[in-house]
Amino acid sequence: MAMDEILDSIEQLILDSNRVPLTNKRMVDEDDLVRLLDQLRNDFPREIQEATGLMKERQRILDSANKESKEIIDQAKNYANKLINEHAIVKQATEQAEVILERAKKNAADLKADSLNYADDVFQHVIANVSNVLESVTKSHEHIKQKKNS
């Protein structure tokens, strides 16, 4: 029988026992009371052991839950740090890409300007050569005309 049942039985034994007239006392059957008290004494250590076992199990469950929650928190922190690091890497890569792109644009603009300058120099040289050739042709033509007229 459980302790609370034994205590209920003792209480019922007292309430069911006869009153001593003109007092606040009762006449309890000694054998019944001693039997219930012995049973209480015998069951008390078992109840304590069960309670201790329950407390240990409760503590084990709490420890397990705390450990699991700590692991979940650690995993979340690690994941957050990973995302932060990946974000930093992406940001750094984006910045480097922008620098490379700007450098490429500048190089392209410089190359275009150099190409235009080179083309201008070539045309200046061609024009000068063509002018010299034209002048030479014109002189030759004049020379032929003079010979023809003389």
pLDDT tens, per residue, the chain with 150 residues: 788 888 999 999 999 999 999 888 999 999 999 999 988 888 887 778 888 899 999 999 999 999 999 999 999 999 999 998 899 888 999 999 999 999 999 999 999 999 999 999 999 999 999 998 988 898 988 889 888 887
CA distance 27 to 10: 13
Residue 54, both tokens:
């329950």
In this predicted structure, what is the pLDDT of residue 70?
96
In this predicted structure, what is the pLDDT of residue 62?
95
Residue 81, both tokens:
């740090």
Report domain extents, the chain. Answer: 3-149
In this predicted structure, what is the pLDDT of residue 147?
86
- Cβ-in-10-Å burial (0-12, 13-18, 19+) of 6 comes to buried
In this predicted structure, what is the pLDDT of residue 4?
85
One-letter identity of residue 14:
I
